Copies of this chain bind each other. A is one copy, B any other.
Amino acid sequence: MSSLDANGGAAFLAEIEQQPDALRRLLEHDAEFKRVAREAQARSATLVRMVGHGSSDNAASYGIYAFGLLPRWTALRDSITLTVYYDTGVDFRGSTVLGLSQSGRTPDVVEYVRRARRAGAFTVALTNDVSSELATEAEAVLPLAAGPERAVAATKTYTNTLAALVLLAGHAAGEGARVLEALREVATQLEALLPSLERDVASIARAFAYVGRMFVIGRGLEYATAREVALKLLETCRTAAEPLTATDLAHGPVAALDSLFPVWAIASHDAALPAVVEASARVREAGATIVASGNAAAAIDGADYVLPLPEPPLPVLAPLLSVVPGQLFASALARAKGLDPDAPRGLSKVTLAR
């Protein structure tokens, strides 16, 4: 088990704080995103197949909504197994493939992209390393530009992947300039938010030091946030946190809840909010503690802890802000538990596992 030394968790926290700068760095590459969007349009490659693992796959959950809401293209988290292991011979014509990998070295993502390109897809690598194997295999490369990420658990790469997906989707919809400007404002909002949020989260996290399991719920755009917050808690705090859509919670797992099983609800102002509010009412009936975060956190009646956030200039950008309380919570909870979030036991930064 990693033990906490004087600097334990310093990289993880620093990288959370670097997110506004990392986001601005990505936006400098706007012209490249515009070019790739035009190429996808020119080829009528409007079925978007996203592949990645861990945080990259969580970001892909957001991509479904970014492409669905902006150019109204269908995007999916594609099965890597069908193409790489089962060698199915999927018809990739009319598809844009987005290979998502921080390092650009995830073996089965690289192999998927190689095969998809041969089979007629327009292949694009989104990676921090534009000279990586993934970048070489793909026809086009979009830099995530998050800068060096030292903590094993991704933070700024996750938010920059969200930004990359929505910027690409914005250009595909002919609204790139509007999305770019709104992302700039989100960077400013993030910067203003971080100091006070860090203080508020730390005082809540201490109360969770003995929690062994949690649910994190969200719906629609914020399902990606629920997945990513749950993954941070698992990776850095050894808390068994499971992400669920608000509706799926009510379809079964609500039966597992009791007063020792808290639920974190991600609540943003959009048309899916009533589903999150209703599911939270079921949680409260079961006697479980509720943490509510997001720009509609105040809508969750009877929440035990509330972490409100500002509204972004475009509703589709809410997840770039919504994930931050969860990242800070994981950082604070790991410290409260004496764990080192920079180097969780058993993990390395580049996962070469199949």
Contact = CB atoms under 8 A, between A and B. Distances in A.
Nearest to A57: B248
Nearest to A154: B252
Interface string A275-308: 1001100100110000000000000000000000
B213 A238 contact: no
Interface in A295-354: 344-347, 351, 353-354
A136 interface: no
A256 to B, nearest CB: 4
A81 interface: yes
7 contacts: A64-B79, A65-B86, A68-B79, A68-B90, A212-B212, A234-B252, A238-B258
A250 interface: yes
Contacts of A137: none
Contacts of A345: 255, 286
Contact of A86 (B76, B90, B271): B271
Interface in A69-118: 69, 72, 74, 76, 78-79, 81-82, 85-91, 108
Interface string A236-276: 10111010000110111111111001000000001110110
Nearest to A2: B255
Interface residues of A, number: 66
Contact of A251 (B54, B238, B251, B255): B54
Pairs A-B, 7 closest by C-beta atoms:
A250-B353, A255-B344, A54-B251, A81-B220, A213-B240, A85-B271, A238-B256
Given A231-B253, A254-B346, A286-B346, A86 B69 contact: yes
A129 interface: no
Contacts of A278: 353-354
A169 to B, nearest CB: 12
Contact of A353 (B69, B240, B282): B282
A327 to B, nearest CB: 14
